[in-house]
Amino acid sequence: MKCKPKLGALVLFGVVLCAGARADVRIGARFPTLETAAFTGGLPATAGKIVLVDFWASWCAPCRDSFPFFTRLQQDYGARGFIVVAISVDEKAADFEGFVKRFKPGFATGRDHEQRLVREVKVPAIPTSYLIDRAGRLRSIHEGFRGKPTETALRKTIEALLAERN
């Protein structure tokens, strides 16, 4: 199944891809604040937690496939200090809201309606997930969502981060 992006989303996607082959935020660096995105129900507390930040869009087929998995991750690891924060790059609030209503994620969702955070991070593709350690440092970047291989890689990294003591 291929994504059928809307023109504005396609332009954003093209700009993001042309900005560089890799994300601007480097492994080991502090991840930017999430406060620039508007969160449904407010931004969840992330201090001292392992955080998976996922950039997604309503028009993205792999994003639709990833949401049930991210809900399972939140259920499986939430009690151990893990949180999923999914940030939409949708331009229209209705597209974001419709997606969230349809997929009912069991994790925090927000919309970067001004694309400030996506530009600051220079997200290389939609979807892309960033794993952040308890100290707020970026530890891993996962471009795309490819089902089982992505699920296995993310679980392995999350378990390793949860086992660390800062």
Domain count, the chain: 1
Residue 89 belongs to some domain of the structure: yes
pTM: 0.84
Give the chain's mean pLDDT: 85
Report the candidate in 138, 135, 123, 131 with the shortest Cα–Cα distance to residue 157: 131
Is residue 12 one of the residues assigned to a domain? no
5 is a domain residue = no
User: How far is it, in rounded angstroms, from Cα 117 to Cα 121?
Assistant: 6
- Comparing 40-49, 83-92, 134-143, which segment has the lowest mean pLDDT? 40-49
**Could you tell me if 85 and 51 are in contact, meaning their C-beta atoms sit under 8 angstroms apart?**
yes
1 domain-assigned: no
> What is the arithmetic mean of pLDDT over 42-70?
94
Average pLDDT over residues 138-163: 96
Nearest Cα residue to 161 out of 125, 131, 141, 118? 131
